[in-house]
Structures are given as structure tokens and as C-alpha cells.
Amino acid sequence: MTQQRRGAVFLDRDGTIARYREYCRSPEEFDLLPGVGEAIRKLNDANVPVVVMTNQSAVGRGWLTMETLSSIHEKMQQELARVGARIDAIYVCPHHPDDGCACRKPGTHMLTKAADELGLSLTESYVIGDRWQDVQTGRGAGSRAILVKSGHPAEPANGTTADYEAPTLGDAVDWLLQQRQQQTASAQTDWSTRYRALAERLYEVRRACPRFAVLGTSTLHPRHSLPADQVELADRPQEDAPWPIPSWPRIITHALKLAVYAAQETANLVWISWHGRGMLRRLSQQPATVVMKTWCFGPQSFDAARDFYYGTVPHQLQAKGISTVVLCGDTRERCDLAFLTAFLREGAVRYVPEWLLLPWWAPMITLCRQLWGALSLRRVAQRAASSSLAAVAATACVNALTPITMRNLLQYHIARAAVKRWNAGAFVTLYEGQPWEQPAWHGARAANPSCRLVGYQHTVIMPHSLAVRRPQSIGKEIAAPDIVLCLGETTRRMIAPGHQPHGNRLITFGTCRRPASRGSARGPRPDLRTVLVLPEGFQSEARLLFRFAMNVAAIMPDHRFIFRSHPVLPFSQVRPHLQRDPAQMTNIEISTRKTIEEDFSRASVVLYRGSSTVLYAVLHGVKPIYVHDAAAPDVDPLFELSAWREGVEAATQAHDRLAAYATGAVPSAAAEWLSAAAYVDQYVIPVDEAAIDRFIDAFRGART
């Protein structure tokens, strides 16, 4: 996946960071200007890379060695560190002005080199310096430029203009952060428009390539959470330079790797079938009215009493005389003896490792379908009328030849075998718009054309959740399930207009994550001064939130911070990607509590991005503060909510919000919480007996 480039701030050194000297020849001559450390810390807090670019011709003149220059820069970093600031990278031109090098300002070589090495976007960057040559450098690189008047004596502009002129670096930073905030708001609106346009191109490619492999290809399903390739395609101008068509060597390489993977999976299936044959025979003795598809996070997460997604619903159905089988997939993307053994316990509800149902030949058949689909997508890319459409088809062509696409498509065979084996009248999947869902629906319908397809819309709906909000009828594809079990009245309202053309039934169902009594709501507790940090199960989001929270914790020793990782991504997997160990900070705790409700009870505020858990935090009186990332789309589950929720971009902003809340400087907190809790109360309702009855009536065909 391609890392999205972000803007940086490039700083001149002498006259901008340090007191101006024509030549600084020793660490003793280096003095930071007042307020510089605080200004750079604001950039650090806002997750903006800070890069120094400096001409040091004293080296070329023989007046300064590179070793002494390194000592000067070491002193600069040490003095900045005293106020919690840092420089992320330093680029130096050591040449004499007469050498004719490309790196000396106003040349742009230092900027372009930094952009290549650090993955930066120069068009989204700022250059700040005290001379017009710094402004010229920024202009030449396509960056915005700010002139500060804290260093070099005034000199002629020579026809160059700056985007802003500031007395000091601190003033310049305040201005550019304000500009970034305004640009972020505008960019989010623009990004939503671009993503909707991208979705139309995704659907256009699917219409042009009605192959089975397309159903499991991640690129072609607009949804939350956003795949990295879709973000890249949405950020690309619709008509840009021609997109490269995947070469034959590239396709052959991917196909060979996929063939090896298919062979390994075939061998694994033979082994699983042999070891699990007795289990499957025992679990297949009786038919089942309902088959439900779920996911486990390894064998240790399996709980026969309470499923992670469906909770006690399988048992509630069983108690009402509806025989139920639950198919269990493993998010570790494998099935081993430990996973099989976890299901040996007897129970009222039958839990079946889904790979026991896969025929041994399925991976090889799927491999052929993927290769055929990839070739068809390549032809679509070649014949596309526009560069933007070719980009989508070419990206999907490569994605079609990946193991994850094979695993998605194998859900067809799993669902088909399950419905046929248990003669099921209803097949239930999660409903998020994920690329494994449609293959499963087609498999169930292939086994029993009258089988009711049920989608459990169990999580948040985002503006970009288009596969769920606006399902498209494309050829023979099953666009949407016959019945949608909605999380609450709010999500039912969100998706109803897009489902009306399909004539399917939307049922307000709820979630087992919320007690049926609805008695868990609690009021605000700002005096706790404890911040719960809740990322989704993605490395990028976990890194961003935990790094941000560490920056806030460093400047708020009077607050405690609780880091709670998603079950699918334990903290041990995130820790290597953090620059510091948060456990070494005295006011940070890595949560080991079994239930999230325990952490809710200890927290006053939650820092979050895309996690649906923030809904339950609100019901527990925990104030939500959303962390914006200027380099990524917004993924706020509470995007409709205006009261109680706040957003921040920088650690200093978070400091101010947290301090004001903890000291009672927000007198309207209680009233705002009541409004927010009322919204969430309709978003996530508890599953009760009436909801179970509505579900049963729906798949039996009752009209209520």
C-alpha cells in the first residue's frame, strides 16, 4: 500500500531559528531566538514534520568543519528538547557560492531531496525564512512561503512575494496552523465529493467486468474502513497522466505467487478435513433453520456463550426453537489445530470452524477465476475512455491476484456448503460492505434459491459507507441482503433512502454490546482527569492516536491516559512502531482490563478516530474528543453530532480542551451530554425479545 504524502514545514536556520550571524562557527555562537522552541513544539504537536534547510558556505570556505557543524546542530536539538520540541531532519548545503551546486538556496535540491527521502508533499508544505532567497526556494518548489523579520537586515524583494510576512517564527507558525485548519475543513468536504466520484468509477468498472473475481476484489467496494488504494485513487486528479497498465511480467509474478498460496491452502484443507471430519459429522446430524457467519480473533477469543459480533443472539434464537449454526472464521487468516480444538465443547448452539466446509479443490478453482478476472480488468484498463477509469481498473487488476481476494471469494464455497448441508432457510452475515459479503450471499443463494439473505449492520455508518448506504444493482450481482438488521433507528434512517429501490426489509434490531435495560448511561465526570485512548484495529490509526496521546500526556502531568488497543491488534504489535515506550511515562497506563466498561468507568474523556466504541463511551458519560489528521479523510462515527463532541488537531489544542473541561469551565457540559446521549440512545439500541421476534417474522416472510 502506498503511504500518503503529507506537508512539512521547512525552516531556515540562521535568523529564523537562531540569532542571525553572518557565519556561526562554533556551538558557543549559536543562540536560539526567543519563542522558537514553543513555535516548533506547536508544529510537533500538530504532527507536522519540521525540516531545517540551511546554507553553510563556511564549510566550503574552510572556516568550519562538518564535525563542528554537527556539534552546532546537536546543541540546537538539545535546547529545543528542553521545551519539548524537536527537528525531524536537517539538510545542509556546505558548498562555496562559486561552486555552482544545485543544493544552495534559492535552489530547491534540499527540498526535493527531503521530499523523496521523507515522503513529503512539497505542494502542501511551507518554507519559512528571514531572507527573500528562502521565499524564492519555496516558490521554486511549489510550496507556500513565509518571510520572518527576525534575522537578516531588510533587503530588496527582487519581484518575489511571500504568502505571509511575520515578525517572528511564532507568528508565522500561528498563521500557518490557522491556514491548515481552514484547508482541512475545506479538504474534507472536497474529499467526500471526490470519493463519491470515485465510487461511480468503481461501479463503472464492475459493470464493464462482470466476473466473479470482481466480487471479492477490495479495490472495487466503496466502504468503511477505507482501503489505502481507494484513498490514493480518490486523491488522484480525475484526469492526470496516463496510469500504467500492469505489465505481463507483473501479472505473471502475482499469478505464480498466488498459485503457490493456493497450493499451500489446498494442502491445509486436506489436513483440516482429515482432522475435523468427526467434528463436522457430529455437528451435521441435525438441520438448522439459520446459519450465521462470524469472525474470531484466534482460538483464545472464542466464547460459546457470547459471540463478539452477535452476542447472545444465536442462543436467543435457539431458545425460541430456531435451530442455529454459527460459522466461525479466523481473522488470523488461517485455520490450525488450536482453532479446531477450541470448538470441541458441546453446547446448545453449534459453532463450526468454517474451513471444515471448504472442498479441497476450491482454492485452485478460485485461482483460475482470479486470473480470468485480472485479465478482464486489464482489458478494461486498456480500453478505458479516461485516465481515471483506467487507474481504477489497473489497480483492481493487481488486487484481484492477491491472497486476500482468494480468501474473500472462498466465502462463496463456505456459504454454499453450509446452506446445503444444514438446509438453512436464512443465511446471516455481517453487513459493512466488505468484499467477502457478496461472494457469501451468492454461495448461499446457489445452494438454496429461496434462502433469505440477512445482513447485520452491526457498526457505525460513515458518509463514505456507500456500499451500505447506496447499494448498486450491477448485472447479476446481489446488491443487498433481503433483510437488514439495523444497529438502531439512526442507522436505519441513514440507509433507508438507498435501500428503497431494492425492496428489501430494514429492521431495527440493535446490539448485544448494550444491556437490554439501557441502564448503563452515566453523567459526565470531568473531575476524574483520565483520558481513554481508543483506536480501531489498524496500525496507522493506532500509531497516530497513541503518538498524539503521548504528546498530550507529556504536557499534562495532572491527567492520566489509558491506552486500550483493539482486540484484533494487541498493543504488543503497535509498540515497535512508536518512537517511545508509553509505559515509561508515569501518567500512561496500558490497559489490561477484561471489559471496556471497566475503562469507561475510570475515564472522563476519550480520544478517538474511527472506533464505534466511542458511542458506548458517550453513554457512560465520557466526553468524546476526535483527533483530526490533515493527511487523511475524517472517519468520525459521531459526524452528525454537534453537542458534547469536540475535535482537535494539535496536542496544545487537546491540552486546552482537557484543562477547560477538568476545571469545570464548561458549564453546559451536563446539558450537552444529555443531548449527545439521546442521539446515541437511538444509534445503538439493545437487542431485546421483540427484536428477536421481528427477525424471526422477517425471514419467515411475515408482514408486520
Write out the catalytic residue numbers.
Answer: 12, 14
How far apart CA 323 and CA 286 sit, in angstroms, is 9
How far apart CA 542 and CA 48 sit, in angstroms, is 18
User: Are 504 and 484 spatial neighbours (Cβ–Cβ below 8 Å)?
Assistant: yes
Task: Kindly report the backbone phi and psi dihedral angles of residue 461, in degrees, each rounded to the nearest multiple of 5, phi listed first.
Answer: -110, 125
How far apart CA 441 and CA 411 sit, in angstroms, is 9
Interhelix angle 387-399/169-208, rounded to 10 degrees, is 80
Alpha helix stretches (DSSP H) within 326-473 = 337-341, 362-383, 387-399, 403-422, 437-447, 466-469
How far apart CA 29 and CA 19 sit, in angstroms, is 9
How far apart CA 556 and CA 656 sit, in angstroms, is 10
Strand partners, 294: 328
Residue identified by cell 472464542 is 302
Q: What is the dihedral of CA 338, 339, 344, 345, to 10 degrees?
A: 100
Name the burial class of residue 178, with classes exposed (0-12), middle (13-18) and buried (19+) by CB atoms within 10 angstroms of its CB: exposed
How far apart CA 504 and CA 507 sit, in angstroms, is 10
- Position 147, amino acid: L
Element (DSSP H or E) covering residue 229? helix 228-235
Residue identified by cell 540562521 is 14
User: Are 646 and 625 spatial neighbours (Cβ–Cβ below 8 Å)?
Assistant: yes
How far apart CA 77 and CA 168 sit, in angstroms, is 19
Q: In the 8-state DSSP scheme, what is residue 646?
A: E
Closest by CA to 317, choosing from 642, 654, 699, is: 699
C-alpha 269, offset from chain centre: 32
Residue 588 CB contacts under 8 Å (≥ 6 apart), including other chains? 549, 550, 553, 560, 561, 562, 563, 582
User: Are 620 and 522 spatial neighbours (Cβ–Cβ below 8 Å)?
Assistant: yes
How far apart CA 45 and CA 34 sit, in angstroms, is 19
- Position 476, amino acid: K
C-alpha 199, offset from chain centre: 18
How far apart CA 494 and CA 536 sit, in angstroms, is 22
User: Are 340 and 272 spatial neighbours (Cβ–Cβ below 8 Å)?
Assistant: yes
Using CA atoms, how far residue 453 sits from 290, 398, 428, 489, in Å, is: 10, 30, 6, 21
Task: Kindly report the backbone phi and psi dihedral angles of residue 701, in degrees, each rounded to the nearest multiple of 5, phi listed first.
Answer: 90, 15
Reported in sequence order, the residue ranges of 551-703 that DSSP labels E, i.e. its strands, are 560-563, 588-590, 605-608, 623-627, 646-648
Residue identified by cell 485516465 is 387
Question: Per the structure block, which three cell numbers stand in for 195?
Answer: 470519493
Does residue 623 sit in helix, strand or coil?
strand
> Ramachandran region of residue 346, left (φ > 0), alpha (ψ -120 to 50) or beta?
beta
